[in-house]
Structure 1
Amino acid sequence: IEELPKEMGELCNLRFLGLKWTWELKFIAEGLGKLTNFRTLHRFVVCDDEGDTKGCNIRELKDLNKLQGELSIQGLEGTRKAIDCARNAQLLKEKYGIISLEFYFGITGGVSAQSGTSEQSNDEQSGALEALEPPLGLECLEIGDYKAKMPVWHLNTEYTNLHSLKLERCHLWEKLRSITALELPNVINCPALCEIASTPASESLKVEECCSLEQLPHHMPALKWLDVALCDSLEQLPDHRPALKSLMVWACDGLKALVNMPALESLEVSYCDCIEHLHDMPALKSLMVRKCDRLKTLADMPTLESLE
């Protein structure tokens, strides 16, 4: 399916529209906003006009108050008209049935459709994301291809149900604040990110291509799985992680040592040119080391079962 026609807007009793895996869908005609009985939509694509046919505008989300479950909004880097229409509207804040949201400023949740690096484009993106302030009951949030500053609603401490957060290619996002219930933070290619606040409930943390990040949070007592890659400014990982079971470190040139991880069972270290020491890992069962040319010492590992 590549497009949905304007006649879709006449199906006034429609409750379910399964667009979850329709990656070829690039155009939705104006009119979805009339379908106020919608419960499930999954995917909403903001579109430019095509000839005489008007494309779907994010303003059409305003009256879809019965939406539930998951919603992925894509193409937010589209037209200025779409952004201007949303700038002063609260489109999602009172849609309490939505528990999972994705905001992508490209079409398919991956590659952005436009470069949009100008200051004007940044302002437009910022206005769109402010207008899409999520409901407070949100559980999962994903934002991608976003080139503007953090939205004001990001600082709201009332998102107490949020347990999964993914930021991908958010170029000016500087801080990941503390969120009490957050279990699965995932941060990829956010070059301005310089601080990740402690998230005490987090069991998993993945950080990739965050070149300004110099340290990871110290207070993460529940952390079991840690994956860090391509973070050149990172000089050390906080030691004494009582729950950490699995650690993967890839191409972090600033790291010199990994020490004092009493519960660690699996460790993979690859392409870390400066790392010299691996110490105090009494529970380690599996160790894989690749292309760490300066590695000098491995401490006694009495429980080791696999070495590569």
Structure 2
Amino acid sequence: MERLSEENCLSIFNCMAFYNRDKDGVLEAIGEEISKKCKGLPLAAKTLGSLMRYKKTRQEWQEVLNNKIWDLEEVEQQVFQPLLLSYFDLAPAVKRCLLYCVIFPKDHLIYKDHLIELWMSQDYLYSKGNTEKEIIGQRFFDNLAMRSFFQDFEKYSDGNIRRCKMHDIVHDFLQYLTQHECFTMDVKGGNNTIKPLGDKIRHLTLMLAPEGPLSCVSFSSCDLRTLATFDSEFNVVDSTLISQLKHLRTLNLSGNCIEVLPEEIGELVHLRFIDLSYNHDLKKLTNGVCNLYNLQTLRLFGCRKLESLPQSMGKLINLKYLYLWGCDQLKYLPKGIGRLTNLRRLDRCPVGGGKDDDEAFKLGDLRNLDQLQGGLEIEIDGDVKVVAGEGEKASPLGNKQLSKLYLVIKNREDEEGRKRSGSSAETLNFLRPHPNLESLYIRGHDESTAPNWIMSLNNLRFLTLEYWNECEVLPHLGRLSSLESLTIRHMKGVKKVGVEFLGIEKETSSTSSCITLFPKLKILCLYFMTAWEEWKGVEEWKEEDSHVTIMPCLSSLEIHFCSRLKTLPDFLQKTPLRTLGISHCGNLARGCQKGKGKEWPKISHIPNITVFPEYFDSDDKGEGIIEADDAVELTEWPSTSGGRVKA
């Protein structure tokens, strides 16, 4: 392992230890001695610094410096000493959660929500008062992250951590602490037979099990709580193996080639967590799963051949998390899903594809799932109408604390299909979400107007609209006060974008009050608008009479595959744009020539402009193509012939 100099090691230590606090001369002196204990190891410096961040007094710092852990002579302890100090400083409940992370292989991507659900399945999280277990789990995770037990964080746009990794040394450290309770078995090249385990083993990880059946010699001597597989390909789970896992709480069989689960899985009544994700050959979920009354999490991500769920799913009264993203052949949900009143996450809800409508989950059944939160995709496929009288009731989504909503309407390409299915406007209006929604995606709307609730979403930050085939005028979106990112794609009926898109009324020009349109918009993307010819601004107004500010925060504009578009709006020259990207827009590219094009004055202030002028319509003779010297940014771009050209 590469060692740092004492100076660099101290720098890392101080960076972590004095984060968001003033340096103290006395503490700095003690810290210099503590950093020497790291012996030049970067992880040790980072971990110890993170530990000292929580120590406020000189006495606490002195106790760490004088701790007896530094006197341990074992080689492995010399590597683990700083980690032990930080580990011993954790609360017992947080320690348990950290130790459980050893079930993941080294360098494995750990998703925060997934990990919290695993902790819940082992009953490691206890609610305090009105604080829910999920919140406790997030606090534990943040605590461990702050103490540098995790690294390589990937975050969502709002700054929350999505996933991370664990340093190999931290993983070795956890294996050292859990060597009698957790075991990782590599069965590569064997016959997929699990050898007998010690009676103290509670958590088993299987690596690289090849294709074939997964069986066991005997689990009679142990009491497994976790069985997890990684990088494996077995296609059959032996029923005798299942019958010996009576106390199992967590079962992860994701990423294998399983076609059928044995019915005996229904005997594992203590199961809280099942992950069958990315078993691409799994077509049907066994009815036995519905006997797992304690089940909290069922993960079926990417089971692309899965066609149906058992009708008895309503028996899973404790189910909180049901993940179905990527189950493209699953066209409907069983009616019983509507009885799962504890359900918090349902990432995909297909409706309308059921053969027997009486046994299929309907849009109105969403009303019963009043604890749903996070993200939800509703996929409307086929004949879906709002039942008479339903439209007068409260929206089935109005009481949901959803942050993201994806509405996908399919199979309405022909007129007959649209008549049979009813109006998509009626359906969308029925699905009015809670006003706190932050992200919205609507695909396949076949009406000329937007849903009647879209302008009430005052907290909406991200919006994507695509395949609105009947839309000729873009919705009046400029008054969405929190919108930060807007993407519009495949609006083939739109020929002109004018002031109505900004939310400007005719009488606005005569008002004396100040108006800001798209006040927080940072990113605007416009793609595949094949009929679009004009983008009008507000050039007909006199500047001294105008009290309108447009897109004062806009930093990025992307326009692609809009071949008929010729002009840009005048207000762009007053925006703080930093990046402009244009491709497959021959007419517009010609107008954006540096110093020559008619549109150049509107964009000359933008520091980063990329135009790919080599893409024109087939009937374009190439007249006025931008020369490389005229391009604002020289960029390599794949040509149609497979080579690379410069823009």
Same fold (TM over 0.5): yes
Could you say if the C-alpha distance between residues 78 and 122 of structure 1 is closer, same or farther in structure 2, counting changes exceeding 3 Å?
closer
Higher relative contact order structure (alpha carbons within 8 Å, sequence separation ≥ 6): 1
Q: CA deviation at 1:235?
A: 2.4
Q: Does 1:180 align with 2:511?
A: no
SS of the aligned residue for 1:152 comes to: coil
Superposed counterparts of 1:1-308, under 5 Å = 1-51=306-356, 54-74=359-379, 76-81=380-385, 86-106=390-410, 113-118=411-416, 120=419, 123-148=422-447, 149-156=449-456, 159-173=457-471, 174-176=473-475, 177-178=477-478, 179-193=480-494, 194-195=496-497, 196-197=501-502, 198-210=517-529, 211-212=531-532, 214-215=534-535, 219-238=550-569, 239-240=572-573, 242-255=575-588, 256-258=590-592, 259-260=600-601, 261-270=604-613, 271-272=615-616, 293-295=623-625, 308=647
- The one-character-per-residue Cα deviations of 1:224-275 (angstroms, maximum 9, x if unpaired) are 22111233453212342553232222233443412132132231233256xx
Residue identity over aligned pairs, in percent, reads 24
- The one-character-per-residue Cα deviations of 1:138-163 (angstroms, maximum 9, x if unpaired) are 0000000111232211243xx22101
In 2, Cα distance between the equivalents of 1:100 and 1:16? 16
Aligned-residue CA RMSD (Å):
3.0
In 1, Cα distance between the equivalents of 2:567 and 2:584? 13
Could you say if the C-alpha distance between residues 3 and 304 of structure 1 is closer, same or farther in structure 2, counting changes exceeding 3 Å?
closer
Could you say if the C-alpha distance between residues 115 and 60 of structure 1 is closer, same or farther in structure 2, counting changes exceeding 3 Å?
same
**Structure 2 residue aligned with 1:109:** none
In 1, Cα distance between the equivalents of 2:557 and 2:423? 35
AA of the residue aligned to 1:257: G
For structure 1, the residue ranges without an aligned partner over 5 or more in a row are: 107-112, 274-290
Q: Does the Cα contact within 8 Å between 2:364 and 2:390 map onto a contact in 1? A: yes
SS of the aligned residue for 1:146 comes to: coil
In 2, Cα distance between the equivalents of 1:232 and 1:190? 13
SS of the aligned residue for 2:483 comes to: coil
Could you say if the C-alpha distance between residues 88 and 125 of structure 1 is closer, same or farther in structure 2, counting changes exceeding 3 Å?
farther
**Structure 2 residue aligned with 1:282:** none
Q: Does the Cα contact within 8 Å between 2:384 and 2:422 map onto a contact in 1? A: no
Q: Does the Cα contact within 8 Å between 1:42 and 1:72 map onto a contact in 2? A: yes
Could you say if the C-alpha distance between residues 305 and 59 of structure 1 is closer, same or farther in structure 2, counting changes exceeding 3 Å?
closer
Could you say if the C-alpha distance between residues 80 and 96 of structure 1 is closer, same or farther in structure 2, counting changes exceeding 3 Å?
closer
In 2, Cα distance between the equivalents of 1:91 and 1:4? 26
- The one-character-per-residue Cα deviations of 1:155-210 (angstroms, maximum 9, x if unpaired) are 43xx2210100011012332232112111100001123443324231211111122
Could you say if the C-alpha distance between residues 216 and 154 of structure 1 is closer, same or farther in structure 2, counting changes exceeding 3 Å?
farther
In 1, Cα distance between the equivalents of 2:560 and 2:587? 11
Give the stretch that moved more between structures: 120-129 or 14-23. 120-129
In 2, Cα distance between the equivalents of 1:168 and 1:95? 26
Q: CA deviation at 1:70?
A: 0.4
In 2, Cα distance between the equivalents of 1:115 and 1:245? 39
AA of the residue aligned to 1:235: K
Give the TM-score taking structure 2 as reference length.
0.40
In 1, Cα distance between the equivalents of 2:585 and 2:338? 47
Q: CA deviation at 1:217?
A: 5.7
SS of the aligned residue for 1:126 comes to: helix
Could you say if the C-alpha distance between residues 85 and 142 of structure 1 is closer, same or farther in structure 2, counting changes exceeding 3 Å?
farther
In 2, Cα distance between the equivalents of 1:41 and 1:28? 11
AA of the residue aligned to 1:250: S
Number of equivalenced pairs: 282
Give the stretch that moved more between structures: 130-139 or 113-122. 113-122
Q: Does the Cα contact within 8 Å between 2:460 and 2:482 map onto a contact in 1? A: yes
In 2, Cα distance between the equivalents of 1:183 and 1:204? 6
- Return the structure number with greater helix share: 2
Q: CA deviation at 1:52?
A: 8.3
SS of the aligned residue for 2:424 comes to: helix
For structure 2, the residue ranges without an aligned partner over 5 or more in a row are: 1-305, 503-516, 539-549, 593-599, 636-645
- Return the structure number with greater strand share: 1
- The one-character-per-residue Cα deviations of 1:14-53 (angstroms, maximum 9, x if unpaired) are 1111113323322322121111111111111103432586
AA of the residue aligned to 1:229: H
In 1, Cα distance between the equivalents of 2:382 and 2:634? 53
In 2, Cα distance between the equivalents of 1:48 and 1:84? 20
Give the TM-score taking structure 1 as reference length.
0.79
AA of the residue aligned to 1:183: E
- The one-character-per-residue Cα deviations of 1:289-308 (angstroms, maximum 9, x if unpaired) are xx95423678878x967663
Q: Does the Cα contact within 8 Å between 1:20 and 1:42 map onto a contact in 2? A: yes
Q: Does the Cα contact within 8 Å between 1:28 and 1:47 map onto a contact in 2? A: no
AA of the residue aligned to 1:166: T
Could you say if the C-alpha distance between residues 93 and 56 of structure 1 is closer, same or farther in structure 2, counting changes exceeding 3 Å?
closer
